[in-house]
Amino acid sequence: MRAVVLRELGPPDRLVAEQVPDPEPAPGQAVVDVEFANITFVETQLRSGRPPVPAMAPRLPVILGNGVGGVVSSVGPGAHPALTGRRVITTTGGSGGYAERVAVDATGLIPVPEPLGLAEAVALLADGRTAIGLLRAAAVRAGDTVLVEAAAGGVGSLLVQLARHAGARVVAAAGGPRKAAVATELGASVVVDYSAPGWAERVRRQDGRVDVVFDGVGGEIAAAAFGLLARGGRFAASRSSAGLS
């Protein structure tokens, strides 16, 4: 089968398509014929040689990819035969997703209902569970004022919508007019451009203190957002992208 292999850390051109052996399902595993592979920000960090933490640095060569969607083509001993032919999304355990086929734990398969496209389901796999986990951890409730950083990004855009659905007032912070416009379309009550000086002070003047901050940037922006928290407020960080590309 074909797979995208990383043999040398660096820019995207270090990812090269190669022929590799087909996976065989071990006991309790299923083989998924991959139609869509998720590419996350963390995977770009791994590829470039700048992992979020040193322990995440990949051993080369490696096939990156932790989220895929496709159809189950076969199962190993102990996995239910009825899984064969199912449209599913799943995680790979950290690597192997940039390939035509992948062997995964059969118990981790998530069936995709027919009205939902596989592309959309895969797009929600990583960021969706992150956003839901953050919302629950921060215990967002009706009446809260919630500041969402990187509000036009994958996790941030979902948090804007989930917080609104929970009855919160959402202050969306994004970098630049184009991203600010996206946050407005998503229904944020207030939108600020954190690439402009004094953005945090404008939030303070208009909304006072906030109850929850969802930090998806880190660095100076996170520090400024932290300063907006009310006493007893909750600060939930998902990643630190400041200064990285």
Phi, psi at 244, each rounded to 5°: -115, 160
Q: Which CATH architecture has domain 127-237?
A: 3-Layer(aba) Sandwich (3.40)
DSSP state of 225: H
Using alpha carbons, select from 36, 114, 25 the residue that is nearest to residue 68: 36
> What SS3 class is residue 44?
helix
Using alpha carbons, select from 66, 52, 70 the residue that is nearest to residue 94: 66
Q: Which residues pair with 75 in a beta bridge?
A: 30
Quote the CA–CA distance of 145 and 135 in Å, as a whole number.
Answer: 13
Domain boundaries, the chain: 2-116, 127-237
Superfamily grouping for domain 2-116: Medium-chain alcohol dehydrogenases, catalytic domain (3.90.180.10)
- Residue 243 is predicted with a pLDDT of 42
- Residue 238 is predicted with a pLDDT of 83
In degrees, rounded to 5, the angle at the alpha carbon of residue 16 between the alpha carbons of residues 36 and 241 is 70
> What SS3 class is residue 13?
helix
Phi, psi at 115, each rounded to 5°: -65, -20
Residue 166 and residue 141 in contact, taking contact as beta carbons nearer than 8 Å: yes
Using alpha carbons, select from 56, 53, 68, 64 the residue that is nearest to residue 8: 64
Q: Which helix (H) or strand (E) holds 76?
A: none
Phi, psi at 87, each rounded to 5°: -80, 125
pTM for the whole thing? 0.80
Q: Within 10 A of 82 (CB to CB), how many other CB atoms are there?
A: 9
Cis-peptide into 197, omega within 30 deg: no
Q: Which residues of the chain have pLDDT under 50?
A: 242-245
